[in-house]
């Protein structure tokens, strides 16, 4: 075959795969094949420089650094958005629209307002030609090189009927999962972290060296049109135009909807509000747009904001407050975590009065002192974080924070492993904080599930030395329990009953309850299914442990270490002697539909909880693991699936959504 023809075919193939991947979310080839094809194309392009094409799928790695960004004048100004701060503002907006157009009712397109950077991207003859920031709305900076590195922005449009010149406006943003990974990496190498995904996206776009941008997990979503030159016309509805952009391969929001009147807008706002935390990206509100472009033109704009659109903001996910003190908590494994006590502040939909500071390095990195004014961020279901100190609000009497040199609970030595950021108390179960935490864990719902053994009881049991090791709870009697504060004969009897019931457990729960470092519920289940008996697990070599799904070198090491401790062996033996037992694990029926498969469930499901989905999968014979690896067969991804989805995609692992799973399940269960 002629080189030029092979190059053409390779590029077309890669383009099709890109579209499948970014648009339909359904890659038809594993990553390995994609990479092989891309490498072949790269090799040919290197060998035959004549076939160079700036729109080739190989051209995403960034280019030589610029010395400065050029300036781009927008052919049509990029307008700004008016804000509606409450329902009243939204009703006034709707009234004004209807009055001006002398209409009774109006259709609006509702879109999530992505918290990113507004940009303009121009395709000429279907090829990405130019990208610019919004700037002041009249002119912005030329960021073409940077935007070319964003995988979801097509270098070449799909189809054939696109305009000769097509300018699209949209937002460049960083999905939460990518942001967390980027910051985690920066944190562990002691570099500066980004305050939020928006700043990270802005910082990534500001790079004069587009090779840096290429390594940042940026994404794009279109929200409107700019200048166009075309022989054909586009549909009149904004919503239909967006669908058309989608068919040309340009990413659009999958969450937009057309609704009627202010009531429809309110309803959409309420529904999206409940979804906000589960979305894979930050949104700061909803944009409502008159859907008819004819009506839009008639409405026009005032002082650079259209009369036909309005943004209704969500409550902020970042607020400022003051750090009152810093306390040091000792966890089950001895890890010492600094926690900031804050003046309560309403952020991300809840009142926050504590924020984790992770470890000692984090305090240094933030240069935090007690008394500082700080920016607290709570987005999604991520625990509240202090993202920055407001330096110029530091009071004169701000106190430096001294990380404790010994355990704040028991006074024993603390230590940190080389390469680890976490300091640990080495006293083990001698330390009351660790004893309390391990008891809390042992009786928790997903472990031994002792109902009614709450925080106050646990505190008293440990403080009075009634429970020195978790097995001691099976020695407790009525008179001991009744001697505790706020414990009458009735509740003591109930608690004894609950303690007794918990003896009948499962191997997986028992393994989880032991509290081995890094062995969560899912890993415990894998271990139980793999080894069948506790003895087999307890004497498994590192190699045999590594054969289990979910188990890597670090986890294997922790498991080995745990069972090698004589004290742990004694506790286990005592628990068994005191009557803790579990049925011999059942072997999955021979020929079960999903036998031999390993599934992972992630994201928010609509029709069932994740636990229910996992039980259903197990009943069908599947192994359920907690993390995606090359051993995974399939990922069941609900709304807001983040890093696990990305990982599955990068490994070329099958992904199915809840709707398809439901359908499949019915056929499997009747099989």
Binding site residues, ligand D41, CB under 6 A: 79-81, 111, 113-114, 118, 134, 171, 223-224, 287, 289, 306, 309
Look at residue 129 and give its three-state secondary structure.
strand
Q: What is the DSSP string of 142-186?
A: B-HHHHHT-TTS-SB-SSS---SEEEEEEEEE--HHHHHHHHHHH
Q: Which residues in 522-540 are b (16+ Cβ under 10 Å) and which e?
A: bbbbbbbbbbeebeebbeb
CA nearest to 342, candidates 376, 391, 387: 376
Q: Alpha carbon of 601 to those of 24, 625, 668: distances in Å? A: 20, 8, 18
Look at residue 316 and give its three-state secondary structure.
coil
Tokens of 106: 């109006």
Tokens of 430: 């001698």
CA nearest to 100, candidates 312, 310, 296: 296
Which residues touch 14 (CB under 8 Å, ≥6 apart)? 34, 37, 38, 41, 57
Other beta carbons less than 10 A from residue 624's beta carbon:
24
DSSP secondary-structure letter at 504?
Answer: B
Query: For residues 45 and 56, what is the distance between their CA atoms, to the nearest angstrom?
Result: 9
CA nearest to 575, candidates 405, 436, 447: 447
Which residues touch 352 (CB under 8 Å, ≥6 apart)? 321, 342, 344, 345, 346, 376, 378, 384
CA nearest to 401, candidates 505, 316, 327: 327
Query: For residues 384 and 284, what is the distance between their CA atoms, to the nearest angstrom?
Result: 17
Q: Are 11 and 31 in contact (CB under 8 A)?
A: no
- SS3 string, 9-60, reads HHHHHHHHHHHHHHHHCCCCCCHHHHHHHHHHHHHHHHHCHHHCCCCCCCCC
- Please, where are the H alpha helices in 502-552? 507-513, 521-531, 534-538, 542-546
DSSP H/E element including 227: strand 219-229
Strand partners, 84: 312
Residue 603 C-alpha from the chain's centroid: 9
Look at residue 508 and give its three-state secondary structure.
helix
Query: For residues 381 and 278, what is the distance between their CA atoms, to the nearest angstrom?
Result: 8
**Catalytically active residues, by annotation:** 113
Query: For residues 613 and 605, what is the distance between their CA atoms, to the nearest angstrom?
Result: 9
């Amino acid at each position: 075959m002629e080189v030029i023809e092979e190059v053409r075919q390779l590029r077309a193939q890669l383009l099709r795969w890109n579209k499948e991947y970014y648009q339909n979310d359904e890659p038809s080839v594993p990553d390995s094949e994609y990479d092989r094809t891309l490498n072949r194309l790269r090799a040919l392009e290197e060998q035959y420089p004549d076939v160079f094409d700036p729109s080739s799928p190989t051209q995403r790695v960034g280019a030589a650094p610029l010395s400065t960004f050029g300036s781009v004048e927008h052919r049509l100004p990029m307008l700004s958005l008016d804000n509606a701060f409450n329902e009243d503002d939204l009703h006034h907006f709707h009234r004004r629209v209807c009055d001006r157009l002398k209409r009774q009712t109006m259709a609006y397109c509702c879109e999530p307002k992505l918290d990113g950077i507004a940009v303009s991207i121009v395709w000429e003859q279907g090829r990405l030609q130019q990208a610019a920031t919004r700037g002041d709305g009249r002119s912005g900076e030329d960021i073409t090189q940077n935007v070319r590195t964003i995988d979801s922005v097509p270098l070449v449009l799909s189809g054939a009927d696109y305009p000769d010149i097509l300018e699209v406006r949209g937002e460049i943003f960083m999905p939460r999962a990518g942001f967390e990974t980027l910051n985690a990496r920066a944190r562990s190498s002691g570099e500066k972290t980004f305050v939020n995904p928006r700043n990270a996206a802005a910082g990534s776009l500001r790079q004069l060296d587009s090779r840096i941008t290429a390594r940042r997990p940026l994404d794009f979503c279109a929200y409107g049109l700019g200048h166009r030159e075309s022989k054909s016309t586009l549909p009149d509805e904004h919503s239909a135009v967006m669908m058309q952009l989608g068919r040309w391969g340009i990413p659009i929001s999958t969450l937009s909807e057309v609704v009627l009147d202010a009531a429809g807008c309110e309803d959409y706002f309420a529904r999206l509000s409940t979804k906000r935390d589960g979305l894979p990206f930050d949104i700061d509100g909803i944009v409502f747009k008159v859907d008819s472009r004819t009506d839009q033109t008639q409405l026009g704009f005032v002082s650079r904001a259209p009369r036909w659109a309005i943004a209704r903001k969500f409550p902020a996910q970042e607020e400022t407050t003051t750090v009152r003190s810093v306390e040091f908590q000792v966890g089950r494994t001895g890890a010492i975590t600094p926690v900031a006590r804050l003046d309560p502040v309403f952020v991300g939909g809840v009142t926050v009065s504590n924020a984790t500071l992770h470890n000692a390095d984090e305090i240094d990195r933030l240069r935090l002192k007690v008394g500082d004014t700080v920016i607290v961020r709570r987005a999604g279901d991520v625990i509240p974080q202090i993202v920055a100190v407001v330096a110029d609000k530091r009071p004169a009497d701000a106190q430096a924070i001294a990380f404790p040199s010994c355990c704040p609970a028991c006074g024993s030595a603390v230590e940190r492993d080389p390469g680890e950021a976490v300091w640990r108390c080495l006293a083990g179960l001698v330390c009351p904080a660790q004893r309390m935490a391990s008891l809390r864990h042992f009786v928790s719902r997903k472990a031994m599930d002792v109902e009614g053994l709450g925080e106050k009881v646990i505190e008293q049991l440990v403080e009075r030395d009634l429970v020195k090791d978790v097995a001691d709870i099976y020695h407790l009697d009525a008179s001991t329990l009744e001697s505790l504060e706020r414990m009458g004969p009735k509740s003591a009897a109930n608690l004894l009953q609950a303690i007794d019931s918990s003896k009948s457990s499962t191997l997986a729960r028992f393994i989880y309850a032991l509290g081995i470092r890094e062995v969560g519920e899912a890993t415990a289940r894998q271990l139980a299914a793999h080894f069948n008996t506790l003895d087999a697990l307890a004497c498994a070599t590192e190699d045999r442990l590594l054969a289990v799904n979910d188990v890597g070198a670090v986890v294997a090491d922790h498991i080995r270490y745990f069972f090698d401790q004589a004290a742990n062996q004694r506790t286990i033996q005592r628990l068994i002697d005191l009557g803790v037992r579990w049925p011999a694990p059942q072997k999955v029926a021979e020929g079960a539909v999903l036998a031999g498969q390993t599934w992972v469930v992630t994201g928010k499901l609509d029709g069932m909880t994740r636990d229910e989905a996992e039980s259903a999968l197990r009943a069908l014979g599947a192994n359920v693991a907690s993390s995606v690896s090359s051993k995974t067969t399939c990922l069941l991804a609900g709304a807001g699936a983040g890093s696990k989805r990305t990982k599955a995609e990068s490994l070329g692992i099958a992904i199915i959504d809840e709707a398809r799973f439901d359908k499949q399940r019915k056929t499997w269960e009747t099989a």
